[in-house]
Amino acid sequence: MKQALVSAALVGAMALFTISTYTALGSWRGASAQVEHPASSLVSLPGTVYLAQGGAIYRLHGGAFKQITPEPGWA
């Protein structure tokens, strides 16, 4: 019986620690993330590369980035 109580107390302490850590780390997040819009690449590569940042999709083609969807973008 004593071992069951100790085990239950440890599980409860682990749950409390997990929830408090998650809450503390969540409070460090900013209200809104600042999205940096890429300007251009330094090297011109053949082909096209698609990137996603902050919900928007960008295309790198011919050495230049172009935003092809708005920030709320795709889901």
Per-residue pLDDT at 16 exceeds 90: yes
What does the pLDDT look like over 30-67, one tens digit per residue? 655 565 665 555 666 688 888 888 788 889 887 788 88
Spans of all domains in the chain: 1-31, 35-75
Q: Is the pTM of this model over 0.75?
A: no
pLDDT of residue 40: 58
pLDDT of residue 55: 82
Alpha-carbon distances of 3 from 12, 16, 39, 69, rounded to whole Å = 14, 20, 62, 58
